[in-house]
Structure 1
């Protein structure tokens, strides 16, 4: 007998909060706590897959609309908003960061006033599970849970290496499950008030996770993340109030906004929602909060970058994308996204900290997703969704692997990863797959860029095409540099002890497998997951973005690429190989690890990447990028929102 979908959805929203309470009570790292996380995590994962498969197989998502009368849940939402506002005010006063209080009050009080005075529009369904929500269920339920399982083992090693940090791992792990519960609530909700509530939970959770170590740097970075996201929350609250209180609209649901079309009235709240999305997805000028999030333990970065925080922003942009087609808002969002994609990819070239490269890569790729959503075309939305899928899996794997490399080597600097293929072969092989998944054929990130290019060409914007071309070139540069460092082999390199615990491999191996499987499943994913989203978003049957012929060519390409290393291995069997010393300008000391300098002294051989800091390092490029993007955002808000009053 089939379990009612509504019951499972309610379970997915509430159970992570219950898990958080249980984990919070288990203060010491133990077998019991790990077992609770693994068993509870897989229960959530199976439930999320059940909902997603049920929706994807149904062919008619109109039946998955629930909860018209929600008096009791509404009271919990109001109480939750008051609690979040009080928590932000308390911590802001404690750490003397008073500006966060202003944004919290400005965003929350008007929404509370509307709810408590009965001015909120009622009578519409509060939950809606369509195909896009089902796809997001898979991302949150699979990738998010695997990160939580990874974190249960990682935090023990983290505190072993960081003895100066108070062990509050139960608090950290509990926050991760609160995050997942808020994500399930947000993607399940159609009611704008509920979306706003879960939106604010994610803002506060990210703030608390970034400040985990309680160092001055962590506190400063966490409050930067808080005020930037609360600023976006103010924009969302303004859009919510405009939809509800404007007598010509009277909307309370997001689906009503997206189904109305690009009228002059609707484009105002859409612009405000888009502004909120820019802050969540860390687009310029709001990117610094995500860069500062690196101070938190690695699982926090993996969760924020792949399955939760930044995905909320692009999720909202994709939702309202059809409404932005042909509007000034769409043009400005596309330009901001394209500019962020290009600028962040340049900045990624100039840093050697592995987590910082991944952070800039996230900002860059989210910029491309933002630009695709801003076009409002079918190709743009298709590319945006595929990029979201592949980015979630690849970036989660990369962050987890970098965290394990740091635990094994004591460093996450790319320069220290020279010869990683010899030092830590298992982690190096996994990382190579993750990096290839971000920029090489036949992995989906590269194929999705083809659809993005087609969308930009159809839009007639030369600037967008230039952003994509040069941004992709910069992306290739920094990933190839990192890949070269990993694969570079020094003669007689020594293997290090791989101390990665088995609990972390429970997460890493499935993610690695998923990246490879998704290459072969790309045509199926396009036809059965993404194509139905386009039909629902544009309210018509959309022709296949990837036709049958393209799918066949892609499968042949995938097979050939995987056959090359296998064939090379068989051809090399029985062949005599000759090891040749590196030339090193003729001064090799004879062991490939030293050379003779001009004074006749033996020195260690070291090869370093070129980071081009003098050309476009952070000190030269970051601040101008923030200024330019600030002007773009201000122009969008002044013209669209200001022109409505």
Structure 2
């Protein structure tokens, strides 16, 4: 049974992807995608119910993984040569040489290391990838049809698009289940290649440029990953993740040489998670079709980075490296939250807020206490659901109104009532109590109370997140709802939005049980203690309590009353904005009589304070500080 579940979540997507690549019939493709999504979801839930395991497939698979490593590296090398990108060429060449040395001269008997290992953290990640990722893939059916109609393509590129989407899901499941770090490296590089192909899917000049940037930054992380394995094999004598974690206390006490591969692996995770100064690859990925953005930002690519950092946290607990990771994460959390506050482009708000939340998870890994690791795992869960939902909403809105700017979403309810409500739900689950994101942020700030500077940065960053989420929610809610137009939407687009919105609310509603059943066992396993107790559905710690169900009741009543009242407001009851001078309305647009008798239309907009939060103002200094912390982390923490 276990073999079947691993096959369904890891190998099956690879096989389905190959079929989709050669399949041209659109209706058959839909059926296969929906069926694959169903299998992935059911298999991941069955695996979660089954609990922890260790699995060793046939030795043949070790050889196939080794072959796959070299194939991927050769493909990337060819891309580097074709694009004449020296960074890609030399980093990939170094990886090929390093892999030859590691595979054929250092590691003996691949078959002795179990390929797969899972505890509750791995199983949580499999569920996130398989459920959220599958819903994004299904959403892509309707979205890509309309996307290609807008582009007026003579020949559909959907076979290649869905090939990499489904391949991505299998690679991510393999990555989070991998016990043999050489297997993890293969899946790691597979996600790098998939992201490059998906970001450059539309084959425009800007898409090719951003795909190339994503590739070289992630190849840099891949090189760090591989050379970490070389050092780790030398220092620890094993590439078994389960063995290394079991020896975590021993390594934490010994310190020294083990921190060098730990730093390299953490650095690889930071590049994959698009942390400063590598954030530009993720913001550049916004040029890709929306399913790609949602997949990269919520459940796959970037989550691989933070998963690795959180997974390794017990090994570097109590070291200087851990303290520097906390400091780095807190700084990037605050800095990128400020960048998000200066954006009106909906996708950029989501991109920077994603980087910010990932940095918060990294900060929690660095704080490295039971409370902090609890916050990190809960952030991974709730962020994946709500952020995927918001990306898909923005994609649907953009196709309807031709803009992703949140200022153009004023009065959106009249045109897209269902999508507007779902978007509001997504925004509220990111910032309001008692939803899981705010609960996890509360845990993170509480866990940082022993590190004053980190705690201050986390508190300030959290304040800024409230700023940009409130602005967005306000724009959606500021116009009277009135009587909306009927909203027509492809079923493959509508259902993922509805399901993700329901998940965002329901998973928060059962958050005490999620903590008790999934998160607490992981924390107790590696830290021999838990930070919170569940009492009457509330989460309690030594320093506070997070009330869940009474707040849910109040929030539900308030939301119901607000929607009910807004439906009663008619256009006749809404006062036009008052402006000095003679007011007049032309073509239904309010304004005033200006100089020379010219009509001046009224315009409203939010403050974005670009002089403080603009990309041009902050990015350079954020990158400089982040790079400085990384250098200090290397020499001060690892040595």
TM over 0.5: same fold? yes
8 A contact 2:480–2:571 mirrored in 1: no
> 1:297 aligned to 285, 289, 295, which one?
289
> 1:177 aligned to 117, 142, 166, which one?
166
Match in the other structure for 1:475: 465
Match in the other structure for 1:447: 439
With normalisation by structure 2, the TM-score equals 0.93
> Partners in 2 of 1:512 and 1:406 — Cα distance?
19
Note the 1:240-255 alignment, pairs <5 A.
240-246=229-235, 249-255=236-242
Residue 474 of structure 1 deviates from its aligned partner by 1.1
> Partners in 2 of 1:279 and 1:239 — Cα distance?
14
Match in the other structure for 1:229: 218
Match in the other structure for 2:584: 589
> Partners in 2 of 1:617 and 1:380 — Cα distance?
31
1:80 aligns with 2:68: yes
Pair 467,497 (structure 1): closer, same or farther in 2 beyond 3 Å: same
> Partners in 1 of 2:571 and 2:23 — Cα distance?
57
Note the 1:51-450 alignment, pairs <5 A.
51-55=47-51, 61=52, 64-67=53-56, 70-117=58-105, 119-120=107-108, 122=110, 123-163=112-152, 167-246=156-235, 249-260=236-247, 261=249, 262=252, 263-264=254-255, 265-450=257-442
> Partners in 2 of 1:613 and 1:164 — Cα distance?
38
Note the alpha carbon deviations across 1:405-433, whole angstroms, 9 max, x for none.
11111111112111112221111101000
5+ residue gaps in structure 2?
A: 540-545
Note the alpha carbon deviations across 1:133-177, whole angstroms, 9 max, x for none.
111111011001000101111111001112269631110111011
3-state secondary structure, aligned to 1:442: coil
8 A contact 2:321–2:633 mirrored in 1: yes
8 A contact 1:49–1:138 mirrored in 2: yes
3-state secondary structure, aligned to 1:595: strand
Pair 571,300 (structure 1): closer, same or farther in 2 beyond 3 Å: closer
Match in the other structure for 2:35: 39
8 A contact 1:594–1:602 mirrored in 2: no
Pair 580,161 (structure 1): closer, same or farther in 2 beyond 3 Å: closer
Pair 421,83 (structure 1): closer, same or farther in 2 beyond 3 Å: same
With normalisation by structure 1, the TM-score equals 0.92
Note the alpha carbon deviations across 1:65-97, whole angstroms, 9 max, x for none.
111x75211110111011001101112222222
8 A contact 2:371–2:530 mirrored in 1: no
> Partners in 2 of 1:385 and 1:251 — Cα distance?
27
Pair 487,348 (structure 1): closer, same or farther in 2 beyond 3 Å: same
> Partners in 1 of 2:157 and 2:486 — Cα distance?
28
Match in the other structure for 1:623: 620
> Partners in 2 of 1:145 and 1:574 — Cα distance?
39
Note the alpha carbon deviations across 1:210-265, whole angstroms, 9 max, x for none.
1112222111211111111111111111221112123xx21211222223221323
Pair 570,282 (structure 1): closer, same or farther in 2 beyond 3 Å: closer
1:561 aligns with 2:555: yes
> Partners in 2 of 1:491 and 1:588 — Cα distance?
25
Residue 491 of structure 1 deviates from its aligned partner by 9.7
Note the alpha carbon deviations across 1:465-520, whole angstroms, 9 max, x for none.
1211111111111111111111221798x966744311111211110110111121
> Partners in 2 of 1:534 and 1:488 — Cα distance?
43
Report the RMSD for the aligned CA atoms in angstroms.
2.4
3-state secondary structure, aligned to 1:557: helix
Pair 412,571 (structure 1): closer, same or farther in 2 beyond 3 Å: closer
Pair 342,88 (structure 1): closer, same or farther in 2 beyond 3 Å: same
> Partners in 1 of 2:602 and 2:415 — Cα distance?
17
Pair 376,121 (structure 1): closer, same or farther in 2 beyond 3 Å: farther
> Partners in 2 of 1:175 and 1:367 — Cα distance?
27
8 A contact 1:239–1:269 mirrored in 2: yes
> Partners in 2 of 1:527 and 1:345 — Cα distance?
30
8 A contact 2:106–2:233 mirrored in 1: no
> Partners in 1 of 2:211 and 2:104 — Cα distance?
31
Residue 545 of structure 1 deviates from its aligned partner by 5.0
8 A contact 1:519–1:558 mirrored in 2: no
3-state secondary structure, aligned to 1:282: coil
